[in-house]
Structure formats: C-alpha cells, structure tokens
Amino acid sequence: MGLCSLWWVLVLAVICGGGGRGSGNVAHGLACNWGSRASHPVPPDIVVKMLKENGFDKVKFFEAEAGPLKALGKSDIEVMVGIPNDMLAGLASGVQAAVNWVSANVSSYISKYGTNIRYVAVGNEPFLKTYKDMFVSTVFPALQNIQAALIKAGLAQKVKVTIPINADVYQTDSGLPSGGNFRTDIHNLMISIIKFLNDNGGPLTINIYPFLSLQADPNFPFEYAFFNNSAQPVVDGSITYTNVLDANFDTLVSALEKNGFGSMPVIVGEVGWPTDGDPNANIANARRFNQGLVNRIISRQGTPKRKTPPDIYIFALLDEDQKSTDPGNFERHWGLFYYDGTLKYPLDMGNGKSLAPAKGVKYLKRQWCVMSPQASLSDPNLAGSIDYACTYADCTSLGYGSSCGRLDVRSNASYAFNMYYQAMDQRQGSCSFNNMSVVTAIDPSQSSCRFEIMIDIGKHETAKSSSSKGTKLNLGMAFIVLLALMISGVRNIY
C-alpha cells in the first residue's frame, strides 16, 4: 500500500483499496479459520506470514490460542477469538467469570502484543441438533456476561460479540429460501439473541456447508453444491438460485426479515470443502468449490437477497490430524493447505496471483517407516499392529474413496506404520511393530497417496540421546510416550 498514503488515498482508494490492485498485493478481504487440533502444527509466525502473503486479513479461532494470538500481534490481521462450548456454563454463572476470561484472553493480547482482536465468538454451533439442548440455557447468559465484561474493559467499541451458529437453526417449510424461519424449538431464544447482538453492534455468524448438504442427502443435486455449475436453478418468486450457498444464506435472510431484523449484519463463519476421507472429498471438488468461493469473495459478490457480500471465513486454513472423526474421516482434511502448509492444489487468489505455501517449515529427517520386505502378510500380528498404529495416528486417508484407499495390503500396512512413526516424531522404537517394519529413506508415496514426514516440533531424540538409550524401545515404551502426549494434549480433543 506504499503508494496509497497521505491525501491522495482518497483519489486512489478505488485503485489501491478493495482488491489491492495496482499495489502488487493480492486481493484483500479474505478470511479463514485457523484451527489447532494438529499434532504437529506449523509454527504460528510462519502461518502469519503465509496469511499476509495470501491476502487473508481476517482470521478466526475456536479458542484463545496463545501462540497464534501473540504471533498475530501488530499484524493488523483482524481476529475473532472463540469460546468453546464447554466453557459456556462457567461464563454463564456470573459476570466475574467473564471479566476474568476477557482480561486473560482478550485485553492482555490487545495491550501486550497489539493483536487486533475484533470479535469474541461465544460458543460454537451451540444449537446443533446433535447436542440436544445441552447449551441452550447457557449460551445467552454467557453472551451477555462477555458483553458486560467487554464494556467493563473499555473494549466494547472495538470488540464485538457474536455466536457462530450452524445453518440448522433455520429451516424452510416451503422448501424455498423465502420460506425461511428459525427452528420452532429455539425460535424465541434466537430472537432474543439476535436482538441482543443487534443492540450491541454484533453480527450473527452462520456456518454453511454445501459439502455437508451433499453428504446428508443422497438425492442432493451434486452440481448445485458448486458455484459455476450445470445444476437446474431453483426459482423462488422473482429470484433464481443457482447454488446452495446463496439459497441457504438467503433462507437466513428471509428468517431475519420475517422477524423484523432484515438488516442484521451476518458473517459466514465457516464454509469450505475437504480433500480427503470421503469419495466426494477430493482435490478436484475442493479446488472447484474453493476457487468459485474465492472468486466471489474478491469480486465482492453478494447473494440475490443481500447485494452487500458478507465476510466469509474459509474453513479451513490447514488440515488438522487430531480433529474428531465423528462427522466423518473428511473432518481432518478441510485445509486449503496440508497440515504443514504445503499446497494441495493451485488457487487463483485474484490478479493472477496464486496461493502461496508456508515457507521455512522444519521437518523431521526424510525417512519413513514401512512394512519390512521380510515380514509376511500372514503374520498373525499384522492386523493388530495396523490397528494399534491407526488408534494413535491419523489413518483417515486409508478409507474407501480416499487418497490412499487403493493401496495393496502391504502398502496399506506401511502407511499406517509410517503415520504412527511420524506421529511419534520418528523416535526410537516407534518403528518396531513386532519386527514387521523397517525405516527407509525411499519415499513410499504413490500416485494420490502421500506418505508424510511430520514437522519437527522438537520432540524427537537427538542422535546422541537415542543411541545412549540402547537399541530397542518396545511398543510398551512407545505407549507410555503416547500417554504422556495425550495427557499434555487433552485440551486439544473436541
């Protein structure tokens, strides 16, 4: 933005602002979710550089992550900090709890590090039908207490509250967006919350997942999930809907209009497409969806009912190998990037600029754990060993229709062994598996199936300490190491 300073900012605003055209930057206005359920995360300072290089100027967290929030200090990137659902009851219990939370997780980062925190997301999809009514009584009082705490901290002008909700809080009886209204069981609560947000200048945040719509309904018209498609459009009065994202968003807009909040600001808190773990989750579909999404974000395209485009936080920036697979194996593969910030597919970020990968990531040694050529496929320990490896490491790429779903039995075992070995930071004894495995320097990756090397997070042994430990740690030892890891990582389990 060098050229666009001083008084002629006004004149050049159109050229240098918005799309960043003319200044050599990529388009701004991109936003994404930065999750932390990764066993080997990219160092936060590298992620921040990558965000800036790719034109992301907003980022959303599910928790107040200390490392990333510090790394974002003075970056100007706008931050939405999340409060997990399991903290809602505590925060609902009184204003003091909220005051403590805001002080520790908002005020301190703003004042000490200059982190540009702009939103606090209270809870995450608290009304999801599958949660039954678990958070229904706590989310609104928690929201009110956090707002009160922000006022007390003198931050209420700068930091706004919101609640990210799943699109299942609204529905349409007519099957068309114009029939939208809030679910009857939480209708009154939703109206109270929206009124409160509106009174305090906070937006409503909604998560919309065309991919999940496709997963949920075998009759869902595949093409309609994408933006540039050959789907039969849906005609709703004078409006024609060409894709499910527009239709879904406008169902919410109709629900808001019907209840007197037609101009309520809305943020799309999550939207994206996974690349693995399901036949519909692949590189081609994800690239198609996300390119269409990025195109409409940078061209500032709204929906038929709202010409002003909402802020859209792409889900997600990076793959996370420790996410719960309850929703499906695809859950660990939502990243625009692989877990380590490498590219999955090219993406045009505007003005011909392509998506840029993370730079400066340090990896463990280039070595993999594979099934030994001497080991027999009829070894009675084989199935148990694969099971063991996959209990503690991420094998979600091995499933039907996934990137490693077509490996033969031997490579399949190798994949599992390697994921375990890498998850254990290549430590001594973690490539043992009843003598069925061996370490190799030859990359066993084949076609779509990547045999990963994990990021060096400083947990592997140095050559010296490993040799001094003697030859062989067995699986039992590895298990202890693992338990320790799990205990230290408990916070990271959904």
Ligand X SMILES: *[C@@H]1O[C@H](CO)[C@@H](O)[C@H](O)[C@H]1NC(C)=O
Q: Count other C-beta atoms under 10 Å from residue 476's C-beta.
A: 8
Closest CA to 346 of 304, 297, 400, 283: 283
The interface with ligand X within residues 169-228 (CB under 6 A) comprises: 228
**Options 101-109, 158-166, 278-286, 446-454: segment touching ligand X (CB under 6 A):** 101-109
Provide the 8-state DSSP code for 188: H
Q: What is the dihedral of CA 31, 32, 34, 35, to 10 degrees?
A: 150
State the nearest-atom distance from the C-beta of 100 to ligand X, in Å.
Answer: 4
In the set 270, 320, 331, 452, the catalytic residue is 270
What 3-state class would DSSP assign to 367? coil
Provide the 8-state DSSP code for 309: P
State the nearest-atom distance from the C-beta of 412 to ligand X, in Å.
Answer: 4
- Of the two residues 172 and 403, which places its CB atom closer to ligand X in the complex? 403
From CA 64, how far away is CA 109, in angstroms rounded? 10
Helix residue spans in 259-320 (DSSP H): 283-298
Contacting residues for 78 by C-beta, under 8 A, at least 6 apart: 31, 57, 58, 59, 116, 118, 119
State the nearest-atom distance from the C-beta of 263 to ligand X, in Å.
Answer: 30
The interface with ligand X within residues 226-265 (CB under 6 A) comprises: 228
The interface with ligand X within residues 265-304 (CB under 6 A) comprises: 295
The end-to-end CA distance of the chain, in Å, is 40
State the nearest-atom distance from the C-beta of 256 to ligand X, in Å.
Answer: 30
From CA 276, how far away is CA 344, in angstroms rounded? 11
- Of the two residues 137 and 435, which places its CB atom closer to ligand X in the complex? 435
Q: Are 42 and 318 in contact (CB under 8 A)?
A: yes
Q: How many residues bind ligand X (CB under 6 A)?
A: 16
- The Cα-based distances of 349 to 32, 186, 306, 321, 367 in angstroms read 14, 39, 24, 26, 34
- Of the two residues 11 and 409, which places its CB atom closer to ligand X in the complex? 409
Q: Are 95 and 145 in contact (CB under 8 A)?
A: yes
- Of the two residues 146 and 253, which places its CB atom closer to ligand X in the complex? 146
State the nearest-atom distance from the C-beta of 390 to ligand X, in Å.
Answer: 5
Closest CA to 41 of 364, 321, 459: 321
State the nearest-atom distance from the C-beta of 318 to ligand X, in Å.
Answer: 19
State the nearest-atom distance from the C-beta of 426 to ligand X, in Å.
Answer: 20
- Of the two residues 205 and 412, which places its CB atom closer to ligand X in the complex? 412
- Of the two residues 215 and 295, which places its CB atom closer to ligand X in the complex? 295
Selected from 36, 54, 75, 105, the binder of ligand X by CB under 6 A is 105
**Options 96-104, 122-130, 355-363, 443-451: segment touching ligand X (CB under 6 A):** 96-104
- Of the two residues 186 and 331, which places its CB atom closer to ligand X in the complex? 331
- The Cα-based distances of 423 to 29, 415, 417, 488 in angstroms read 35, 12, 10, 14
State the nearest-atom distance from the C-beta of 33 to ligand X, in Å.
Answer: 16
Closest CA to 225 of 253, 207, 248: 248
Selected from 3, 13, 104, 377, the binder of ligand X by CB under 6 A is 104
**Catalytic site residue 125?**
yes
From CA 80, how far away is CA 72, in angstroms rounded? 12
In the set 125, 320, 331, 452, the catalytic residue is 125
- Of the two residues 140 and 227, which places its CB atom closer to ligand X in the complex? 227
H or E, element range at 368: strand 368-371
**Binding string, residues 139-168; x marks residues near ligand X by CB under 6 A:** ------------------------------
Q: Is 64 a residue that touches ligand X (CB under 6 A)?
A: yes
**Catalytic site residue 320?**
no
From CA 282, how far away is CA 211, in angstroms rounded? 11
The interface with ligand X within residues 363-422 (CB under 6 A) comprises: 374, 386, 390, 395, 398, 409, 412
Residues marked active site are found at 125, 270
What residues line the site for ligand X (CB under 6 A)? 63-64, 100-101, 104-105, 228, 295, 374, 386, 390, 395, 398, 409, 412, 435
